[in-house]
Amino acid sequence: MPTLAARIVLTPDGVCSPGAVELDGPTIVSVAPAQGPVPDRVIAPGFVDLQVNGHDDVDVARATGADWDRLDELLLAQGVTTWCPTLVTAPLDSYAARLERIATAARREGARPTIAGAHLEGPFLGGLPGAHPPQLVRPIDRAWLDALPPVVRIVTLGAEIAGALAATAALAARGVTVAAGHTLATHDELRALVDAGARLVTHLFNAMTPLHHREPGVVGAALTDDRVVASVIADLVHVHPTALTLAFRAKGPAGVALVTDAVAWRAATAGPVRVQHHDGAPRLRDGTLAGSALTMDQAVRNVVAAGCTDLAGAVTAAATTPARVLGLDDRGAIAPGRRADLAVLDADLRVEQTWVAGEPAWAR
């Protein structure tokens, strides 16, 4: 049974320093203080990314064959062991083939990141589509939603649009996580969507009604409703460090999920959207932000270096909280009985190794 030791092991009960994690096959069997010298490194639970449109030169919407292996490698290199391939707004008849490709990729065996399911960011968005093609945003189609295959795990929709409450209740009853995003909803409309079963807000602060002292908007509702997890893009371009700090202080790491919202910026595409990378992020020609070039380990480093939260809080937001959003209680934490998905970081919080279900899957 392999044992990994480190100066810091991050557990649900706090920091074990120095610590040792013992594995038996795919499972963590013990976490205990280490004896003797240990490497100057950090062992964290494998990261869970709820929103990945692509990475580098591979677009999820176009991925076939070996593209999925390339995505695996890119994700493992940033410590991600579970993820949600994300499809942005597109014509309704284009989704079936893309979802089938995601489902096929999810069935592959081996030490690779788990595809927890697809995240549909649209096409049923609200009044702030951002980089999504506005001509493809459409009213809710309940028949289409009801026919979605089981591979769909998250649906982001506009909280203010007609039919949103009924659609949310139906999706939540099927075990799909409903997120509010790209929305002009009021504070009360967001609360109503949460009452109907929504449990996530997609990229807090971006493409939603802001906090105002007389109309708290989606931001105010999300920050104060403990039923809701707020995802954030911590590339320090989408959100100022002070706003990130506000999110962590208001909700705690258990209420914040770090996401990359990464796109295939090197291929200049995100589904039907053409992007160009400048001023720190992919953008449309008019400068509108269109996803990110962020990696999950960089997001962790960013929020720690900016003082938004401590290392334990950053790792909770990168692993534990998003795993809980997906209902995956077998991972996201280093504890006996949990799946041995691990990100081993060096003293600078850069990924040295990634383990998937007790197998070494990537090493620098």
pLDDT in tens, 91-131: 999 999 999 999 999 999 999 999 999 999 999 999 999 99
Q: What angle do CA 275, 67, 324 make, to 5 degrees?
A: 80
Per-residue pLDDT, averaged over 123-144, amounts to: 97
What confidence score (pLDDT) does residue 137 get?
Answer: 98
pLDDT of the residue at 325: 98
Instruction: In whole angstroms, give the CA distance from residue 259 to residue 239.
Output: 12
Q: So what's the pLDDT on residue 70?
A: 98
Residue 79 backbone class (left: φ over 0; alpha: ψ -120 to 50; beta: rest):
left
Confidence at residue 267, expressed as pLDDT on a 0 to 100 scale: 87
203: how many CB neighbours lie within 10 A of its CB? 25
Confidence grade of residue 191 (pLDDT, cut at 50, 70, 90): very high
pTM value is 0.97
Residue 268's pLDDT is 85
What per-residue confidence (pLDDT) applies to 243?
A: 98
Name the pairing type of β-strands 342-346 and 351-356: antiparallel
Residue ranges of alpha helices (H) inside the chain are 66-76, 95-106, 142-146, 164-173, 187-196, 217-224, 241-251, 296-305, 311-315, 321-325
- Among candidate residues 261, 286, 330, 346, the one labeled active-site is 261
> For residue 311, what pLDDT is reported?
98
pLDDT of residue 216: 98
261 given a catalytic annotation: yes
Percent of the chain with pLDDT over 90: 96
- Rounded Cα–Cα distance for residues 10 and 143 (Å): 45
Of 308, 323, 181, nearest to 250 by C-alpha is: 308
Terminus-to-terminus CA distance in the chain, angstroms?
23
Backbone phi, psi, residue 80, to 5°: -85, 125
- Give residue-wise pLDDT tens across range 22-40: 999 999 999 999 999 999 9
Beta carbons of 314 and 304 less than 8 angstroms apart: yes
Whether 357 contacts 339, CB under 8 Å? yes
Q: 1 with 29: CB under 8 angstroms?
A: yes
Q: For the residues 201-230, what does the mean pLDDT come to?
A: 98
- Tens digits of residue pLDDT in 264-313: 998 888 888 889 998 999 999 999 999 999 999 999 999 999 999 999 99
8-state DSSP, 27: E
In angstroms, the Cα distances linking 134 to 131, 137, 145, 325 are: 8, 5, 20, 28
| Domains of the chain, each with CATH number or no CATH | 46-329 (3.20.20.140)
pLDDT at residue 161, as a whole number:
98
The per-residue pLDDT for range 253-262, each reduced to its tens digit, is: 999 999 999 9
**Cα dihedral across residues 143, 146, 149, 153: positive or negative:** positive
| Residue 339, helix vs strand vs coil | strand
Q: Is the pLDDT of residue 55 over 90?
A: yes
Q: Name the pLDDT band for 237 (thresholds 50, 70, 90).
A: very high
Instruction: State the Rg of the chain over Cα.
Output: 19
Dmax (CA) of the chain = 63
Contact 34, 18 (CB under 8 A): yes
Position 172 pLDDT exceeds 90: yes
Decide: 233 and 260 in contact? Cβ < 8 Å.
yes
Closest by Cα among 357, 343, 348 to 48: 343
Q: How high is the pLDDT of residue 82?
A: 98
Q: Give dist(CA 274, CA 253) in Å, integer.
A: 34
pLDDT band at 167 (very low <50, low <70, confident <90, very high): very high
pLDDT mean across residues, the chain = 97
Which residues does 96 contact at the CB level (< 8 Å), separation at least 6?
none
Mean pLDDT along residues 160-172: 98
pLDDT tops 90 at residue 327: yes
